[in-house]
Chain A
Amino acid sequence: MTRVRIDGIVKRFGEAVALNDVSLELPPGELFTLLGPSGCGKTTLLRIVAGLLPQDVGSVAFDGEPVDDVPPYRRNIGVVFQSYAIFPHLTVRRNIAYGLRARRMAPERVRAKVVEAARMVQMEPLLDRMPAALSGGQQQRVVLARALVIEPRLLLMDEPLSNLDARLRVEIRTVIRRLQQALGITTLYVTHDQEEALAISDTIAVMDHGRVLQTGPPYELYRAPRNRFVAEFLGGMNVLAGRLSRLPTSGDVVLVETDFGATWSVSVNGQATGAGPVWLGIRPESLRAEPPPPGAAAGWNQVAGTVTDVGYLGAVARYQVEVAAGVSLTAEVHDPDFAALRRVGDAVRLWCDPVKVRILAPHP
């Protein structure tokens, strides 16, 4: 199990700054995800860790040892690429054996290890196929086995699922997570898919414009985003502009006057609370439509509005509710009863627990 330290990495491509002073620490045995929109620098960072791209400034260390001067072929890493990068001229068996043969391992040991690795990804029956005769999901399993069989210190995965269809994506994702945990390999995982990141990661680092905005376990990023970008990138988020007006009234509750008139109570809960303009963030699933949900207390925020759109998605129904001219909130109803759904034009009152409202610092 390898501990990876990324220290002050800067990378420019001409004038463009791809990475702007990024520092991270990957705990041993963890699956660490870089999450961000395309162009945020996440793949660049992965390639620097792999040694496939030289950084301009900064250092990468495996277990405290700097690897900046170690070429990629001596770093002992396994890389899985978005485009699979399977060797199309070699059989599945020789694809998996490639790294072992490069290490001049005895042929009979290679054979045994290849079979073992193929079994891990359920590809043993197809060992003698050529890649052209494999589906995308099968190719991805082969390159996963190829990367794991060399027992790398570190596994790097660059959007490994983005070329697969939705069903396969979940299936392979499960395979990756199971193997990663069983083998205890420190893994750096790059994706732009927030659901994938939440499902698979021990720790997520959200990136934008070459910077890391927030690092933490999935639930923390989802429940306590520190700024508007993180909040909106991970799941849906209603964002309201407002003004933090008064100090705590009772216990840790503060009042925020929103720009459209209503006053919201927010449970501070250790959040930063300098008086002044703030953004409020409310997840759609935290906004409840009438009738008031069981357990709603007197202290809950309420706001009246008009339904402008109803989206029925099976497990969830989603309302767009206009609460003031130009201000619209999204609210979700889980396990909706279709007959009881509201129509466009209906008046509706939304309820929200002050504990579920976040105060978001403006985007840096």
Chain B
Amino acid sequence: MKVPGLRSVARRRRHRDAWWVVSGVGFAIVLAFLVWPLCRVLAGSVLGEGGWLAFGETYGRVAAHRYYWSSVLNSLGLSAAATLGAVLLGTPLALALARYPIPGAVLVRTAANLALLSPPFIGAYSWVVLLGRNGLVTRWLEPLGWGVPTIYGYRGILLAFVVQYFPLVFLLVSGALAAVDQSMEDAALSLGSRPRQAFFGVILPVILPSLTAGALLVFMATMADFGTPMVLGEGLRTLPTLMYGEFINELGGNPTMASTLGSLLILINTAALMGQRYFAFRKAYHVVCLRPLQPRRPSRLRLALTSAAVYGVIALALVPAATILVSSFMPTRGPVMYLGLSLQSYATVLHLVPRAVANTFMLTGLAVALDVGLGVLLAYCLARRPSRTHAALDALIMLAYAIPGTVVGVGLILVYNHPPIVLTGTWVILLVSYFIRHLPYPVRACAAMLQQIDVRVEEASISLGVPPFRTFWRVTAPLMFPAIVSGATLAWITTIGELSSSILLYSGPWATTSVEIFTQVFSNHFGTASALASILIVAAAAPLFLMYRLLGQQAAMAP
């Protein structure tokens, strides 16, 4: 006589493993450091000072005062224009490299990757160095009687944004083009399409999901960008800068208005995200690529002109980093730089602000180590134990992608500046922000890798007598190594130049390099700023080179 009920209960207990501990820790961390702060910001945007629903004090105020609503329009306009610009520059570049045998194509791709390394606000600062009031180009052209159009304000921010982000569109579209099979175009042409029709009818629809994904990333990143409008804005307010201003206001901060502006920021980004998802979901095609698109054989003149255009565009992407590196070795006085070679700026860094550099390395290193350590385990849970709970956890972790650093910073301060847990004023709160904001990178990289690793390999190990947890360390973790390295590298690159939450969360001795650059720029010490920025760029690039050396070409750099 069988008793099915009893047996299955006993069996379930036997097969329960220890992974729930990992997902429990994951939930606790994400709820404490991301969801709760976020809820505080969102709640702050609907509750007035008294704790009651008070839209009049929040969104009503935004609608009523030009001071507020103009910043919303500025942000929307800038991001839309920057997205359009990045798409119009990045897409043709990708197409040119895919369709023409352009010499040095590998170098162009490497340059695009390099351009993405430098933190956005450093790019903005580089344009000030070149074209600002005391800029290098400005002063060279002055004696000739040529004025340079002002770099400050709307157009300057737009220029900095487009140059900063078009390589991202380029890399994503290139990836999509690499997955288009030549036979698709051949089929279109054999059916009587002209090349132009074949492109718009067959190739463009297939790459469109990647194109829109790139556009979305640019839109969200520019919406959230705090440093660029801060450096180049000169009175032009955007959502993040105004939010910062409201929160830090010397006449006593206004957390309610900061929360409202932050919530608007989240709302806009979430809407963009949903829109792109909805679109990409309906229009995504699965393509099998056996033979990628073959380069055409254009006329010599055409190839030469296209190549020149490609080199010109990619050179533009490298201008900011090159400017910073070169200017860091120039003698300076205040914001004015002179021709010549000098280590004066680096001497100043060593003398005045060595602490900031040390802080950056310590905090970034610690945050990345924690991201990777937890990320690997969480990725395993999410990929190998699919369930509704884990899908929810995955979504919560990914939330960090969509939430601007300024909002995370304000949220963390609102939650952790009073008992029972006080973290404000310590380095821990910086670490928390870095850790939670960049956790998605190792999680995504490792989860994607796990999809490629056959579960049977783990089962083989278990059947040979190695229990599950030891199997994880002996088989799964070594196989995940490339993903661990690339996840860590991405987290490192994005953490090391983080400004938007650092500037809110740092205190006294815990200023980071990015904060220090910001301070130096505003106190007109351009030499020191350039030297610090160069240190950041090199420190961001170093692990990338290390990764390529370590893993060779298999390490595909995901944006």
Contact = CB atoms under 8 A, between A and B. Distances in A.
B282 interface: no
B110 interface: no
A258 B456 CA distance: 51
Contact of A79 (B2, B463, B468): B463
Interface stretch (B11-19, B335-343, B424-432, B514-522): B11-19
B475 interface: yes
B467 A56 contact: no
A55 B14 CA distance: 12
By size class, the interface of chain A is 35 or more
B7 interface: yes
Interface string B428-467: 0000000000000000000000000010110111111111
A56 B8 contact: yes
Interface string A63-88: 00000110111111111011111111
B542 to A, nearest CB: 26
Given A57-B2, A57-B7, A81 B465 contact: no
Contact of A73 (B12, B454, B467): B467
Most buried by B among A10, A73, A82, A150: A73
A72 B475 CA distance: 17
B10 interface: yes
B551 to A, nearest CB: 13
Contact of A69 (B4, B14, B462, B463): B14
Given A56-B8, A57-B2, A50 B463 contact: yes
If over half of B's interface residues share one DSSP class (helix, strand or loop), that class is named, otherwise mixed; here it is helix
Contact of B460 (A8, A56, A58, A143): A143
B143 interface: no
Contacts of B7: 57, 68
Given A57-B4, A79-B459, A68 B11 contact: yes
A98 B464 contact: yes
Given A71-B467, A88-B479, A99-B464, A52 B459 contact: yes
Interface in A22-68: 50, 52, 54-58, 68
A89 B14 contact: no
B478 interface: yes
Given A54-B15, A56-B4, A85 B464 contact: no
A73 B472 CA distance: 14
Contacts of A313: none
A73 B479 contact: no
Interface in A122-146: 143, 146
Contacts of A78: 463-464
A71 B2 contact: no
Nearest to B463: A79
Contacts of A81: 456, 459-460
Contacts of A10: 4
A363 interface: no
Interface residues of B, number: 25
A102 interface: yes
Given A88-B479, A89-B478, A73 B463 contact: yes
Interface string A141-157: 00100110010000010
Nearest to B470: A102
Contacts of B11: 54-55, 68-69
Contacts of A72: 459, 462-463
Contacts of A86: 457, 460
A77 B460 CA distance: 10
A167 interface: no
Contacts of A75: 463
A99 B465 contact: yes
Contacts of A71: 14, 467
A84 B456 CA distance: 8
Interface string B1-45: 010100110111011000000000000000000000000000000
A52 B462 contact: yes
A87 B459 contact: no
Contacts of B464: 73, 78, 98-99, 102, 146-147, 150
Interface string B65-81: 00000000000000000
Contacts of B461: 87, 98
A73 B460 contact: no
A27 to B, nearest CB: 22
Nearest to A79: B463
Contacts of B15: 54
A58 B4 CA distance: 8
Contacts of B14: 54, 69, 71
Contacts of B479: 88-89
B265 to A, nearest CB: 42
Given A54-B15, A87-B457, A143-B460, A73 B465 contact: yes
A98 B479 CA distance: 16
A109 interface: no
B27 to A, nearest CB: 25
30 contacts: A10-B4, A50-B459, A54-B12, A54-B14, A57-B2, A57-B4, A68-B7, A68-B11, A71-B14, A72-B463, A73-B462, A73-B463, A73-B465, A73-B466, A75-B463, A76-B465, A79-B460, A81-B460, A83-B454, A87-B461, A87-B475, A88-B457, A89-B475, A89-B478, A89-B479, A98-B466, A102-B464, A147-B464, A150-B465, A156-B463
What 9 A-B pairs come out closest when comparing CB atoms?
A99-B464, A85-B456, A85-B460, A102-B465, A79-B463, A81-B456, A85-B457, A57-B4, A102-B466
Interface of B: 2, 4, 7-8, 10-12, 14-15, 454, 456-457, 459-468, 475, 478-479
Given A81-B456, A89-B479, 20 more contacts: A52-B459, A52-B462, A54-B11, A57-B4, A57-B7, A68-B11, A69-B10, A73-B464, A73-B467, A76-B465, A79-B459, A85-B454, A87-B460, A87-B475, A88-B479, A89-B475, A98-B466, A147-B463, A150-B464, A150-B465
Interface of A: 8, 10, 50, 52, 54-58, 68-69, 71-79, 81-89, 98-99, 102-103, 143, 146-147, 150, 156
